[in-house]
Chains A and B, each alone.
Chain A
Amino acid sequence: MMKIEAIIQPSRFVSVKEALHEIGIEGMTVTEVRGHGRQKGHTEIYRGREYTVDLLPKMKIEMVLPDALVEKALEAIKKTAKTGMIGDGKIFLSKIDEAIRIRNDERGENAL
């Protein structure tokens, strides 16, 4: 089992979600986050006082998938989340030791 953590542009989120649904992935956790990589922020001015805002809004999608689905999911995300500009985001992969379904105690890939 692998965990995919994808940080993407908020405007691409709906397309990414639909693409993942199309390949049969239904379980995901989504959070609104703020962050930046090399993308510059912007300056806000309130009554003459300047504030540099370099934390930009992004969407984070987390999914734990059976090994078989991982490549297909990565392809789907890469294709739909990409705009070609700085700020598109990143995908991280990690190995998952165990997964448990709370309702009926199923374990392993059956729990996904």
Chain B
Amino acid sequence: MTIPKFLYLSQYYCERARRRSGAWRYCLLLAMILWGASGAFAQAAAPTDFSKGSTSEKLTQLDQRVTAAQSSADNAWMLVSAALVLMMTGPGLALFYGGLVRRKNTLAIMMQSFALMALITVMWALVGYSLCFGGNGPVIGGFEHAFLRGVGADPNPDYSGTIPQTTFMVYQLMFAIITPALITGATAERMKFSGSALFMVLWFVFVYAPLAHMVWGKGGFLNASLGGRFPTLDFAGGTVVHISSGVSALVCALYLRKRTGYPQQPMPPHSLVLSFMGACLLWVGWFGFNAGSALASNGLASSAFVATHFAAASAALAWSAAEWLKNGRASALGAISGAVAGLVAITPAAGFVGPMPALVIGVCAGAFCYWMVTKVKAIFKYDDALDAFGVHGAGGTIGALLTGVFAQQAINPIFGAGKAVGGLDGHWAQVGDQLVGVLIAWGFALVGTIVLLKIVDMITGLRVSTEEEEAGLDITQHGEEAYNLEA
């Protein structure tokens, strides 16, 4: 059956159902929501009276209290981390990208991030969490947690034994939000809002969910901590978030082709002040992204926090140094771009490498991404408008590979006590496993994106007309102007 015929038939049957009885469909939806909600309420243990009972009873109660205290600390940190990661999308990424586009397209790029905050949240609640973290398949999860059934105050021991599964769920949601948002950087200034929204929803289901499950989900065959076949070390999402979005960004940029007038017409950022603020919010938010991926308030979180910060700093310096050598001056845009590149590269490595290797990873990322964005992009002439591929795709790739080099059991004995982790431990084969993970992420993103772009192009179309592009997306897609300074 062809897609147009399928769509026609679906529309026909929906019309029939609606005409026969509209109410039953809403009753069904309400029933599903209630069914899902009924599984969500788990009772926490009732407080015990410590003054009564035998010594062993008291010890049991004491043990429970200590566990509760640890959970309390972990949960507090994880809720804050979840908020920090959401902040990375809004306003972090929105401002960062917003400042880089021309004035007439400011609201459009911000709206894409914001819309994803809403869209992905709803999808996550309905099926997303379950697809990523349910089941135990090698490639994708299941539907056991659809409508968040079974997700409540009790921890899920497969993922995070000390925090409510609700916390884990909402923390992971923030990652699912920012990943598609990153792609919008490549299609900036020429993508339809309708096409973008539909594409992101499909991409989330068919590219992000499988990758997240393969690397982080129980049974996933790249999962390093749960015995995957090709354990890929990815602490906070170098492959799942950055490679997937970065490579998809490149495919989108090539599919949509260049912006009208690119590269002859000058298209400098309209407000680096906005980008600067966005970059700083990203840096701070990234502590939630990386250190929060420890899923507990412990020494590993501290280690990841430090590694994150150090990599951002050294990468900013590396990019600035490269610019100083090349142009005679270090620019603000270069410094903030460098910091972001460093943060991207340390993302897979944060909870596996020490502070000194973090500095090295940052320098490598700053220099490599600078080269990708200035030299390679000019050679191949693709219009990756805001360098989503140059920073996230490239930074994620080099970060994932360097993770295999610098990971140490002294930082995180992820394969078991005493077992070597990465190159610094002598286990150089890990770099090979990292490469497998990188290639699978690349492949999934490449193939998935091409297919989905074709589908969405047929349904809503992807690119605005030349006249709309000239007038600006704010006016044509959203009926607004970002700045009404004469008002």
Chain A residues with CB under 8 Å of chain B are 44-49, 51
Among A45, A47, A49, the residue within 8 A (CB) of B337 is A47
Q: Type the 1/0 row for B325-352, where 1 means its CB is closer than 8 Å to any CB of A.
A: 0010101011001000000000000000
| Listed A/B pairs (12) with beta-carbon separation below 8 Å | A45-B323, A45-B327, A45-B329, A45-B331, A46-B268, A46-B331, A47-B333, A47-B374, A47-B387, A48-B374, A49-B263, A51-B266
In the assembled complex, how far is the CB of residue A49 from the closest CB belonging to chain B, in whole angstroms?
7
Interface check B16, CB cutoff 8 A = no
CB neighbours (8 Å) of B329 from chain A are 45
In the assembled complex, how far is the CB of residue A43 from the closest CB belonging to chain B, in whole angstroms?
9
Q: Are B266 and A47 closer than 8 Å at their CB atoms? A: no
Q: Which residue of B lies closest to A52 (CB)?
A: B266
Q: How far is the CA of A61 from the CA of B4 in the complex (A)?
A: 63
In the assembled complex, how far is the CB of residue A110 from the closest CB belonging to chain B, in whole angstroms?
32
**Chain B binding surface, main DSSP class:** helix
Q: With A45-B331, A46-B331 known to touch, is A51 a contact of B268 (CB < 8 Å)?
A: yes
Interfacial residues of chain B within 351-402, with CB under 8 A of chain A in the complex = 373-375, 377-378, 387
CB neighbours (8 Å) of A46 from chain B are 268-269, 331, 333
In the assembled complex, how far is the CB of residue A41 from the closest CB belonging to chain B, in whole angstroms?
12
User: What 4 A-B pairs have minimum CB-CB distances, sorted nearest first?
Assistant: A48-B374, A51-B266, A46-B268, A47-B373
Q: How far is the CA of A46 from the CA of B387 in the complex (A)?
A: 12
CB neighbours (8 Å) of A45 from chain B are 323, 327, 329, 331
Q: How far is the CA of A45 from the CA of B272 in the complex (A)?
A: 13
CB neighbours (8 Å) of B387 from chain A are 47
In the assembled complex, how far is the CB of residue A53 from the closest CB belonging to chain B, in whole angstroms?
8
CB neighbours (8 Å) of A44 from chain B are 268
Q: Are B333 and A48 closer than 8 Å at their CB atoms? A: no
Q: Which residue of A lies closest to B262 (CB)?
A: A49
Q: Which residue of A lies closest to B377 (CB)?
A: A48
Q: How far is the CA of A51 from the CA of B268 in the complex (A)?
A: 8
Chain B residues with CB under 8 Å of chain A are 263, 266, 268-269, 323, 327, 329, 331, 333-334, 337, 373-375, 377-378, 387
In the assembled complex, how far is the CB of residue B339 from the closest CB belonging to chain A, in whole angstroms?
14
Q: Are B269 and A48 closer than 8 Å at their CB atoms? A: no
Q: Which residue of B lies closest to A51 (CB)?
A: B266
Q: Which residue of B lies closest to A45 (CB)?
A: B327
CB neighbours (8 Å) of A48 from chain B are 373-375, 377-378
List 15 additional A-B contacts (Cβ < 8 Å) besides A46-B268, A47-B387, A48-B374.
Answer: A45-B327, A45-B331, A46-B269, A46-B331, A47-B333, A47-B334, A47-B337, A47-B373, A47-B374, A48-B373, A48-B375, A48-B377, A48-B378, A49-B263, A51-B268
CB neighbours (8 Å) of B378 from chain A are 48
CB neighbours (8 Å) of A51 from chain B are 266, 268
Q: How far is the CA of A48 from the CA of B269 in the complex (A)?
A: 13
Q: How far is the CA of A94 from the CA of B266 in the complex (A)?
A: 36
Q: How far is the CA of A51 from the CA of B331 in the complex (A)?
A: 14
In the assembled complex, how far is the CB of residue A78 from the closest CB belonging to chain B, in whole angstroms?
33
Q: How far is the CA of A89 from the CA of B377 in the complex (A)?
A: 41
The residue in A45, A48, A49, A51 that gathers the most chain B C-beta atoms within 10 A of its C-beta is A48
Q: Which residue of A lies closest to B373 (CB)?
A: A47
In the assembled complex, how far is the CB of residue A55 from the closest CB belonging to chain B, in whole angstroms?
11
Q: How far is the CA of A45 from the CA of B331 in the complex (A)?
A: 8
In the assembled complex, how far is the CB of residue A73 from the closest CB belonging to chain B, in whole angstroms?
30
In the assembled complex, how far is the CB of residue B146 from the closest CB belonging to chain A, in whole angstroms?
43
CB neighbours (8 Å) of B263 from chain A are 49
Q: How far is the CA of A49 from the CA of B333 in the complex (A)?
A: 12
Q: How far is the CA of A48 from the CA of B323 in the complex (A)?
A: 8
In the assembled complex, how far is the CB of residue B388 from the closest CB belonging to chain A, in whole angstroms?
12
Q: How far is the CA of A54 from the CA of B279 in the complex (A)?
A: 29
Q: How far is the CA of A47 from the CA of B337 in the complex (A)?
A: 9
Q: Which residue of A lies closest to B329 (CB)?
A: A45
CB neighbours (8 Å) of A47 from chain B are 333-334, 337, 373-374, 387
CB neighbours (8 Å) of B374 from chain A are 47-48
Q: How far is the CA of A75 from the CA of B292 in the complex (A)?
A: 69
CB neighbours (8 Å) of B377 from chain A are 48
CB neighbours (8 Å) of B269 from chain A are 46
In the assembled complex, how far is the CB of residue B427 from the closest CB belonging to chain A, in whole angstroms?
37
Q: Which residue of B lies closest to A44 (CB)?
A: B268
CB neighbours (8 Å) of B334 from chain A are 47
CB neighbours (8 Å) of B375 from chain A are 48
In the assembled complex, how far is the CB of residue A47 from the closest CB belonging to chain B, in whole angstroms?
5
Q: How far is the CA of A46 from the CA of B271 in the complex (A)?
A: 12
Q: Which residue of A lies closest to B323 (CB)?
A: A45
Q: How far is the CA of A47 from the CA of B374 in the complex (A)?
A: 6
Q: How far is the CA of A44 from the CA of B334 in the complex (A)?
A: 12
In the assembled complex, how far is the CB of residue A54 from the closest CB belonging to chain B, in whole angstroms?
11
Q: How far is the CA of A45 from the CA of B269 in the complex (A)?
A: 11
Q: Which residue of A lies closest to B371 (CB)?
A: A48
The residue in B266, B329, B373 that gathers the most chain A C-beta atoms within 10 A of its C-beta is B266
Q: How far is the CA of A94 from the CA of B250 in the complex (A)?
A: 57
CB neighbours (8 Å) of A49 from chain B are 263
Q: How far is the CA of A92 from the CA of B8 in the complex (A)?
A: 69
Q: How far is the CA of A45 from the CA of B337 in the complex (A)?
A: 14
Q: How far is the CA of A46 from the CA of B323 in the complex (A)?
A: 10
Q: How far is the CA of A44 from the CA of B323 in the complex (A)?
A: 13
The residue in A46, A47, A48, A51 that gathers the most chain B C-beta atoms within 10 A of its C-beta is A47
